[in-house]
Amino acid sequence: MIDQLTKYAAKLAEAGLCAPGEPLLAALDAELCLSHAGDARQPVADAVIYGLGASALLLAEPIGACQGTMLALARQALEAGQSAVIPGDCETRTFLHDLPVVDGESTGDLANAIIDALKRRKGCIVLHQGRALMAAAGSVSPEQTFVTASSMAFACFVAYFSQHLHAARAGRLTPKRRAEFARIRALLLADLARLPSAQPRLLPGPFAGADQARAAMIEAGRAVVEYGLVDSSFGNVSCRQHTPDGELLLVSQTGSALDELSGLIDPCRMDGSSCVGLTASSEYSAHKAIYDGGPARVILHGHPRFAVILSLDCDKLDCPGLGDCHRACATPRAVVVPAMPAGEATADGTAADTASPLLIPIVPGEVGTGPYGLCNTLPQALNAEGGRRGAIVYGHGLFATGREDFREAFATLLEVERFCREEYFRRVAELDQQSSSA
Ligand SMILES: [Zn+2]
């Protein structure tokens, strides 16, 4: 059990969300097991895990932009008299709902306040000694607390930057908000400097068979996590592969960590005659429809933060469809990545045609196969005009395709996210300037 606890503590640090060795993970087996000894928070962890009757608990202090955004949102919520942060992205809508805020500065009984919050939700934000802490409980395994914590970090990041851009659009930025934003932006730039800058070396296609295709998927999944383009337990990857037994759609299993796909890839038949179905990714039907109707051979899906943030940005502040954008936005929208200057081609020089702008449509679509499901909107967008390199699902993430292997799809994820980040800060600066000169 201790291996599990140290593994997930280390994964939070690898993701740049916490300092190495900082997260405290606890599990209640026959006895209480801890990721490390001598942590000042241990009495609180003890009280919470026994009080909740949970089998796993995590207490961790985020760093960098994750700390900045979480702290800002939690304080704003309390100032507005709200007891929770309410993010608007898809991952949170379906997985976390909202994030209760525990005001550790004003409560005399921190453990009980955390227990109350964790009875309602998988995770909560705790304000303690001027910092934001994440608390998460699991009923089955320590992995659940890791998934919740990384999801909370993603949710707060997206919510903070989205709300700031929205406030800039509405002309509601105050000097205090601007100063806070500048601080958080500096933290973000420091975070980004820690990410790998060289392109990953990914297996070139076409793949020789199902085993090689699986190896390429495992490698690509790991790269998406390493480059910060998804939290490890979200996102998915698939590959259409000829085999002696017919054509297969290999797809990562639902809930599998994208950086640990070994043994977690399902073989489904392209002719639909058999599918492991139940364990395959929740977005399997969308992948299938994309392959059925277009030229893609691989699909790589991540939740790159600024791509998600830009998808949430809209200048129609009084749109009658507001609140339903993720299901049924009727306005055609897109991100257009300008042509890159020669010499900046990425991914082993195979970043396809960089001489023309890259049009990435933004489409609505819920996870799953319902009437508003992304299995209807996404394949249409990706297969238009002879096949597109990528599409963003509103408030959710980016689906990138490749015609031969994962190099092209990975390059699209990376290029689109870099562009969206620059475009985000450009929009904020422009809007802010307009409102201050008005
Ligand atoms: Zn997704």
User: Residue 245's pLDDT is what?
Assistant: 84
H/E stretch holding 76: helix 64-79
Query: Would the pLDDT of 341 be above 80?
Result: no
Over residues 217-223, mean pLDDT = 97
Cα-to-centroid distance, 111 and ligand 1 (Å): 34
Over residues 163-172, mean pLDDT = 94
Cα-to-centroid distance, 199 and ligand 1 (Å): 23
Cα-to-centroid distance, 303 and ligand 1 (Å): 6
Question: pLDDT averaged over the chain?
Answer: 91
The domains spanning 2-153 and 210-429 adopt the same CATH topology: yes
Residues with CB under 5 A from ligand 1 (ion): 397
Cβ atoms within 10 Å of 59's Cβ, excluding its own: 24
Most confident of 222-226, 329-333, 431-435: 222-226
- Choose the weakest-confidence range: 255-259, 346-350, 434-438: 346-350
Most confident of 23-37, 74-88, 352-366: 23-37
Domain assignments of the chain as residue spans, ordered by start: 2-153, 210-429
**What is the CATH number that goes with domain 210-429?**
3.40.225.10
3-class DSSP state of 297? coil
Cα-to-centroid distance, 396 and ligand 1 (Å): 6
Query: Would the pLDDT of 352 be above 70?
Result: no
Cα-to-centroid distance, 23 and ligand 1 (Å): 26
Cα-to-centroid distance, 235 and ligand 1 (Å): 5
User: Residue 198's pLDDT is what?
Assistant: 86
- Choose the weakest-confidence range: 8-22, 129-143, 320-334: 320-334
- Choose the weakest-confidence range: 129-138, 323-332, 409-418: 323-332
Q: Give the pairing of strands 84-85 and 123-128.
A: unpaired
Query: Would the pLDDT of 60 be above 60?
Result: yes
Query: Would the pLDDT of 191 be above 90?
Result: yes
H/E stretch holding 158: helix 142-169
Query: Would the pLDDT of 288 be above 90?
Result: yes
**What contacts 268, CB < 8 A, 6 or more positions away?**
248, 249, 250, 251, 274, 275, 276, 277, 280, 284, 288
Cα-to-centroid distance, 106 and ligand 1 (Å): 37
**pTM assigned to the model:** 0.93
Query: Would the pLDDT of 374 be above 80?
Result: yes
Cα-to-centroid distance, 401 and ligand 1 (Å): 14
Report domain 2-153's class.
Answer: alpha beta
User: Residue 145's pLDDT is what?
Assistant: 97
Cα-to-centroid distance, 234 and ligand 1 (Å): 6
Cα-to-centroid distance, 29 and ligand 1 (Å): 32
CB 41 within 8 Å of CB 50:
no
pLDDT (tens digit per residue) in 125-146: 999 999 999 999 999 999 999 9
Over residues 167-181, mean pLDDT = 95
Query: Would the pLDDT of 349 be above 60?
Result: no
